[in-house]
Amino acid sequence: MRVDRFLSNLPRFNRKQVRLLLVEKRVRVDGTIVSDPHAEVLEFSRVEVDDEVLQVGKPARYFMLHKPPGCVSATRDPQHPTVLDLIHEADKNDLHIAGRLDFNTTGLMLITNDGTWSRRLTQPQTKLPKVYYVETEQEITADYAITFAKGLYFAFEDLTTQPAELVVLGAKSARLSIVEGRYHQVKRMFGHFDNKVLRLHRERMGPLLLDDALKPGEYRPLSDEEIRLI
C-alpha cells in the first residue's frame, strides 16, 4: 500500500495533513524518512510519524516443509494432525499455507506470514509451475500427454484447465507440471482416463525445489535467495 493511502486510512489524518507530513519529512518507514507519497508500506513495515509508532511491523517468515501423508493442510483440525502441528516456531498461528496438498499427498509445502509473497506463488495468473511425481493404478499411455497439453474440461467449475506438461517415466509413473491448483486437479485429470492415482508427491513450486535433506515432517527456513526467486 502507498504510504499516503496508509496514513489517509487512519482516522486521525486527512489527505491535506498527510501531504504536509510527507513534505515536512516527519514520516519514517522502517527507520528511513520518506517524502514520496508512492513509497510502499508493507504489512511488515514499521511506520512512525515524529516519534510515534503507527505500525509496529513484524518480521516476514518463510518455511519449506516436507509434508508427510496423513496430515491436513490446515491450521486447525479437530480430528487429524495439521501441517502447523509440525512447525515449532513462536507465533506460528500467524503463518498460513501457500498452496495446499491433499490429506495423503506428500512433498513440498511452503508456509509463510507474507500474504503478498504467497499470492504471487499460487495465483494462476503468475503461471508458476507446480511439479508432481505421480504413480497410478493402470498404465499411462501417450495420449495422456496430448490430452493434458490441450486442457481438460471440468464440468463442476465449468472451465477448461490450463495446458499441462506430462513426462512419462515408467509404465505407471510420470511427472506432471501444472500452473493451477484446482480441487483435486491431478487426480481428476488422471480420472479422465479412469486411472486412479496411488501416489502423489509435489517436487517443486515455481523455482523452489523440495530440499532432499528434509525428511517427511521436517522443515527449514527459506534462504534470502529462495525468497527473492518468487
E strand residue ranges, the chain: 27-29, 32-33, 47-49, 52-55, 62-67, 96-98, 106-112, 130-136, 153-154, 159-160, 165-170, 173-178, 197-205, 208-209, 219-221
- Report the 10 Å Cβ neighbour count for 100: 15
Q: Which tens digit of pLDDT belongs to each residue from 68-113?
A: 999 999 888 888 999 999 999 988 888 999 989 999 999 999 999 9
127 exposure class (CB count in 10 Å sphere: 0-12, 13-18, 19+): exposed
Contacts of 106 by beta carbon, 8 Å cutoff, 6+ apart: 66, 67, 68, 69, 200, 201, 202, 216
Q: How does DSSP assign 4-23, residue by residue?
A: HHHHHTSTT--HHHHHHHHH
End-to-end CA distance of the chain: 19
Active site residue 91: no
pLDDT band at 204 (very low <50, low <70, confident <90, very high): very high
Q: Which one of 102, 158, 194, 211 is the catalytic residue?
A: 102
pLDDT band at 45 (very low <50, low <70, confident <90, very high): confident
pLDDT above 90 covers a percentage of the chain that reads: 77
Degrees, nearest 5: CA angle 165-132-66: 155
pLDDT band at 32 (very low <50, low <70, confident <90, very high): very high
- Domains of the chain by range and CATH? 3-55 (3.10.290.10), 62-224 (3.30.2350.10)
Instruction: Determine the pLDDT at residue 42.
Output: 82
pLDDT band at 207 (very low <50, low <70, confident <90, very high): very high
- Report the 10 Å Cβ neighbour count for 30: 13
Q: What is the mean pLDDT of the chain?
A: 93
